[in-house]
Amino acid sequence: MNAHPVFTERSKVLILTGAGVSAESGVPTFRGTNGLWEGRRVEEVASPEGFDADAQVVWRFYSLRRDGAAKVNPNPGHLAIAGLEARLGDRFLLATQNVDGLHARAGSKRMICIHGELFKTRCERCNVPFDDAKTYFDTVPRCETCEGRLRPHIVWFGEMLNPSHLETIDDFIRAAGSDLIFFAIGTSGQVYPAAGLVDAARNWGGQCWLVDLDPSVEYASRFDHVVRGKSGEVLPELFR
Ligand code: BV8
Ligand code: ZN
């Protein structure tokens, strides 16, 4: 059996999740499907350049994902993460790269969606996100106020993450110091700056755990512990 993290009453937990946490709910991962969509690289479709080149193609990509995500449910991995938060309270923080909304539906509250949210839309100019589960296969929606193009409230490749999100995470890591236990779960660790969180956690004295079905060798080399397995099966035991 794998090593087990030791949670004390001083422990502070930061969790970074990626697509692997939603895989058992039936949401395809990025690199599992070799990151292609309609023969295009995801980086091309999920980017400002892709949106400028053909906003309809991008809205089709996100509309398909809205349809898909609306049909799936949180899995025991999401529930175990929400359960740990319930026990630790403000000694817990979740940073998710996932946009599918499953963590929130599992009860996670102390959560930062660092790559945006699939079920939110915003006007390119007004920039105020609003809840939106609609799909747009045949039109590019326009803003009622300024006629600007509406876009998914997603952080695309080449776009900055919300600086206040990164600051909140950084403050949590620094304040925790050697009381920090950092878990990266279901992520290939290829996308920055999220992939750099393990380095910050280690620099400030944190203990780093990677939980992944098929850990990336390079990413795994930066962790103290690597637990190989399906998050839905491993987490309920790991966080017991
Ligand atoms: C930025 C929204 C710069 C889209 C996403 C260095 C510094 C800064 C930036 C860069 C840099 N180097 C390169 C860059 C550019 C780029 C980048 O990192 N590119 C990579 C591809 C090389 N970074 C950016 O563009 C970021 N922006 O910093 O811009 C900048 C600087 C100044 C001024 C202006 C700009 C923006 C990154 C955000 C991009 N948006 N998502 C969408 O979702 O539609 S990223 C996208 O990939 C998703 O969010 C996804 O979550 C994320 C990462 O993928 P993973 O979650 O890891 O999923 P993956 O499929 O890869 O892996 C799944 C894992 O699960 C696998 O390991 C598998 O084994 C495991 N698994 C499978 N099943 C299970 C499982 N594990 C457990 N249980 C299972 N059952
Ligand atoms: Zn507008």
Residue 4 domain-assigned (yes or no): no
CATH number at residue 142: 3.30.1600.10
Q: Say whether both 21 and 136 belong to one domain.
A: no
Q: Say whether both 168 and 185 belong to one domain.
A: yes
> What's the half-sphere exposure (Cβ side, CA atoms, 13 Å) at 63?
15
Annotated active-site positions, please?
Answer: 115
Q: Say whether both 106 and 165 belong to one domain.
A: yes
Q: Say whether both 46 and 93 belong to one domain.
A: no
Residue 7 domain-assigned (yes or no): no
Counting every residue, how long is the chain? 240
Q: Return the pLDDT at 129.
A: 97
Q: Say whether both 52 and 94 belong to one domain.
A: no
Q: Return the pLDDT at 28.
A: 85
Cα separations (Å) of 140 from 40, 43, 194, 228?
Answer: 20, 20, 30, 42
Q: Say whether both 109 and 136 belong to one domain.
A: no
Mean pLDDT of 208-231: 97
Q: What is the mean pLDDT of the chain?
A: 95
Residue span of the structural domain in which 62 resides: 36-71+119-154
Q: Which ligand is nearest to the CA of 128?
A: 2
Residue 57 domain-assigned (yes or no): yes
Q: Say whether both 88 and 190 belong to one domain.
A: yes
Ligand 2 mean position to 110 CA, how many Å?
A: 30
Tell me the pLDDT tens digit for each residue of 68-108.
Answer: 999 999 999 999 999 999 999 999 999 999 999 999 999 99
Q: Whose CA is nearest to atom 69 of ligand 1?
A: 214
- Ligand 1 shell residues, CB under 6 Å: 18-20, 23-24, 29-32, 43, 46, 97-99, 115, 154-160, 186-188, 190-193, 212-214, 216, 230-231
Q: Return the pLDDT at 33.
A: 62
Number of folded domains in the chain? 2
Q: Say whether both 142 and 187 belong to one domain.
A: no
CATH number at residue 218: 3.40.50.1220
Tell me the pLDDT tens digit for each residue of 141-192.
Answer: 999 999 999 999 999 999 999 999 999 999 999 999 999 999 999 999 999 9
> Cis omega (within 30 of 0) on the bond before 74?
no
Cα separations (Å) of 5 from 13, 154, 214, 228, 229?
Answer: 11, 33, 20, 14, 16
Does residue 211 surpass a pLDDT of 70? yes
